[in-house]
Chains A and B, each alone.
Chain A
Amino acid sequence: MPKLIIDDREIEVEAGTNLIEAARRLGIEIPHYCYHPALSIAGQCRLCMVDIEKTPRPTIACNTLAADGMVVRTDTERVRETRRSIMEFHLINHPLDCPVCDQAGECWLQIYYMKHGLYDPRMVDEKVHKPKAVPLGPHVILDAERCILCSRCVRFCDEITDTGELGIFNRGDHSELALFPGRDLTNNYSGNVVDICPVGALTDRDFRFQVRVWYLDTARSVCPGCARGCNIDVHVNRRRPHHAEGRRVARLKPRFNPDVNAWWMCDVGRYDQHGVVDSPGRLPVPLGRAGAAQVEVGWEEAVAAVADALRAHGPEAVAVLASPHMANEDLMALRVVLERAGVRQVAFRVPPAAPADGDDFLLRADRTPNVRGAELIGLDGDAAAILAAARAGRLRALWVFDHDLTTAGWPAAEVAEALGRVETLIYAGAVASATSARARWVLPTATWVEREGTLTNFEGRVQRFRTALEPLGRSLPAWELLGRVLAALGGTPPGPRAEHWFRALASAVPAFAGMTYRTVGDGGQMVAGAVPGGAPVPPGRRAVVGAAG
């Protein structure tokens, strides 16, 4: 393992580590644009120059591997002057439109100009003009004037998605990032090029002009869009609610986890998941009935009624359709409630109307985040049998979580018959649906960004998601409303936080034995006996290198 000295400090790194990564480990940041640890080395931006002893000129750190005995300096006057000059080059044709640029506030041109530039501009000529506000596909928009031609996005489409939509065309100061004529950036990972773009050239159409990034708050979370559970950050706009017409979730960004999703997330997760949080169909308050109409009721009334319904009819006449969208804590709380009430008919596998497909990278065919958790917690009964029991008139109370049975993969006539014959239909979920509209009691639940909890992904990795927003209206996390039902049944919830339910889970279910929120941490923890498979190899890395060189 090579041992080298960077800025007078010695460090030993694995062979094959470049100087940017070696310095990073010492807490020294070598500025760079084109280098990205997931992509091949381009050496294009020239910003990562460092001085290496016995080398006549500054050298790019990205393409220099740490070698034994190397003495590197990242802070000489010559390095500083080089960075200043390179910043001046990068900004020669830059339109300086920060006031209308979404990237402002998280732009590496701004950051590095303030850190390494601060020169007096000498540019007196007309700047080169290039296409602006060009949609590249459904999610990404290009401003070619802001582009510094680092080629990260081009390499992403070659080396990660293997789709090759983008290129840098023409020459000299006419060089321009663009799509191959006739193509669109429609691959399911297109949003990632916005993340890796160090400047404002590629911005997100969904986030565009919503809110300034410095007004955003961030919470670590997990994408609920499929069974992989990509690690994400949820960015929410609480401080400027008037800027985005009440939309609170501004955007989702992938969070690095080498064992799950690496640096990436798919567009299905990024753009299709947060809509529910700010959906106009959200259920803000508990509902009961006055005649045919659904009317607002207090939680106490609703909880007491649900507890009565569970206990009044006897185990044969009560069933629960839980949901794989529920967190481990919710499912544990449900299990305890059902044990307390003596209810044994519980299932969670309601078939979707049309089975989804996975893709060749992160997205799984199972578009729910917690099937594994629901299985381990022991709620995996026969959903079709519950439907049949309801149709046969054997159920007097049915409690449905999240599912809209009327759009599920069951024949509509059978669902209608079943819902018609159940005396007390209880619905718990975040969004109104044809199922909730038929319910006697509607219990509004908080969405995943409005609460904390854990999910168990398809591999058996338990992962935490955290609270980014307050629950809408009077909605409650499912574990909390289940705790209230438990109390109404004479039981005692383990405590006032989700974590208490997780502890109850860890002591009741052997697969979770010994786990705490602390041990799960930010990287997740495998349930007992599960073997981690690691993040999948990107499609662009699977081909045999060498054929194309």
Chain B
Amino acid sequence: MATDEPDESTRARAVRLLSGPRSRLGVTVGPSAAWILTLLVAPLAFMVAVSFFEVSSLTYQIIYEPTLNNYRSLFDGGGAIWNTPFVTALWLSYVIATVTTVLCLTLAFPLAYLLARKGGRLFKLVIFFVLLPFFTMYLVRAYSWVLMFGPGGVINSTLMSWGLIDAPLGIFNYGIPAIIVGLTHAYFPYMLLTLYASLDGLDFSIIEAARDLGASRVEVLRDHVIPLTLPGIIGGSLFVFVPSVGAFITPTFLGQGKVQMIGMLIESRVAGTYSIGYASAASMFVLVSIVGAMILAFRYVSIEELGGA
């Protein structure tokens, strides 16, 4: 059948390999386990180590003597602790990520509900128009909002040419609102698809039964729809919150230097002065908070329930 079949001896050896329980695990799990160990576990472990070492600012070499200086420098800015670039950036990242997550959840729920209840041609068309921005390059989507916002951006210039406003509005300038809109646009499909997956498995006859028995819409939503789709809600929130905390491209473009989120701070320290000690220490806080969020989420959902996307 296949023309490029390996010669018999290699084939026989491969068959023998796949017959033993131990060797067949080695063949199937081995390569990816090696990848995970050498490209994920080892680098992260090394990053933990680097956060406790000094790095020479001349040679960029690591000086292997334990120190807490990297962590101290995160909170040392000459002024109050909450005024250091690190604390400000981390706090701002959490606030922006939280608002983005809530916004995505409230916007996606109605559409996911509609998609789960209706099927057919309309459904396929709507899904196409949701997936297309989803598959479009992240950078292109961020860039599209660069054009929209700004004092001379599409929104302001359009409103002005229609005579609705006389001068550019501040809210449509670059800044935190623009970043939140950009992030919502970027991660909305993750939320929608995760919610849709869990609403799609929902038995809608339960809702009709509850309604027939006299439950109000709010009661049905509170007592049936939300508890039954909780894995989707938590999963979707995680898929929006985590990348939003570490966002880099969107805040760089849509903040235009006025806003610094934690991802930008880490990037600037590494790309600028190669301060990998500082960057590693800062990354630890991001990692720990993300692991915390995931542990919290996994108390309610299993990793399988989180499913695709």
Same complex for A and B? Answer no
A residues at B contact (CB < 8 Å): none
Give the interface of B toward A (CB within 8 A). none
